Chain A
Amino acid sequence: MTVRTARSPLDAPAPSRWAGDLFPARMTHSPVADPDPDLATLVDLLDDEHVRTILAATSAEPLSASALSERCGVSTSAVYRRLDRLVDAGLLDERTRPRSDGHHDTVYVAVLERFELVVDDGDIDWTVDRTDRDVADELTRLWGKF
């Protein structure tokens, strides 16, 4: 398990990123997920009920966007916006699952395992524990990208 700790003085609250739903730029994927999302991004993400449903559901089994849209009871485009942000923040992993017809489904797996906030000594600390990425999965992903 990797543990990443960040320490920073309390920042002014960032404007809610859900306004960012309007910006198509957020839909693009960065190939490497941000290793350390800042606290505002994290809290903003977790403030969303559907984000929590997505994280909880994908921690049990890999799920596709359409399956997640059913669980959340929202449209797939609304789910995709959240999935993109979660992947960008490094809280969710994308994987592929082959179908019988030779095509692939993209499925999502929760990477966030634990989020801890500590207020102490005039500082706010937070720790994000992620589940380990499996070497075999990374190799499969890389090989497919060649």
Chain B
Amino acid sequence: MLAPLVDVLAGAAATGSAVVGLYIGYQAYRGLRRNDEPAMQYLAAGMILLFGVTYLLAVVSQGLIAFRIVSISLQNVFRLLVRLLQLVGLSLIAYSLHLAAGHPTR
């Protein structure tokens, strides 16, 4: 009886973190345009990958599985893909951090 509520809350929290993550990515992109700061390019790409692309992939894969368009046996493949994208996104952010540290602003 509590399970559906938990599902809805989990989905809402996932959507919320995607929205906030994309907002930060968007501000990083604007920072890139306004300040010509190359570090912001990788920060923006990392945030969008980490929050936007993985969220989209998770939602789409769950939908495909729920409507039996793809076999449930592919669930782990999708999980692997999401994890890999998270790894790439975080690596981009780490790289951006090193870029920013390499060009101290004053």
Q: Which residues of A contact B (CB under 8 A)?
A: 94-98, 102-104, 106, 134-137, 139-141, 143-146
A96 adjacent to B105 (CB under 8 Å): yes
If the complex has contacts A104-B103, A106-B106, A139-B27, are A144 and B37 also in contact, measured as CB distance less than 8 A? yes
Give the complex CA separation of A95 and B31 in angstroms.
12
Q: Are B105 and A104 in contact (CB under 8 A)?
A: yes
Cα distance A95–B30 in the bound complex, in angstroms: 15
Return chain B residues, CB-CB under 8 Å to A106.
Answer: 105-106
Interface residue ranges, B against A (CB under 8 Å): 24, 27-40, 43, 96-97, 100-101, 103-106
User: What are 5 pairs between A and B in contact, CB < 8 Å?
Assistant: A98-B35, A139-B27, A143-B37, A143-B43, A144-B104
Whether the Cβ atoms of B30 and A136 lie closer than 8 Å is yes
- In the bound complex, residues from chain B placing their C-beta under 8 Å from that of A102 are 103
Contact A139 B105 (CB under 8 A): no
Give the total number of A-B pairs whose CB atoms are below 8 A apart: 67
Contact across chains for B36 and A137 when beta carbons are under 8 A apart: no
A98: B residues at CB distance < 8 A: 35-38, 103
Report, nearest first, the 5 A-B pairs whose CB atoms are least far apart: A136-B30, A140-B31, A144-B105, A136-B31, A96-B105
Tell me, in angstroms, the Cα distance from A144 to B106 when the chains sit together. Answer: 9
- Per the bound structure, the CA–CA distance linking A144 and B99 in Å amounts to 9
Q: Given A136-B27, A136-B30, A139-B27, are A96 and B100 also a contact pair (CB < 8 Å)?
A: no
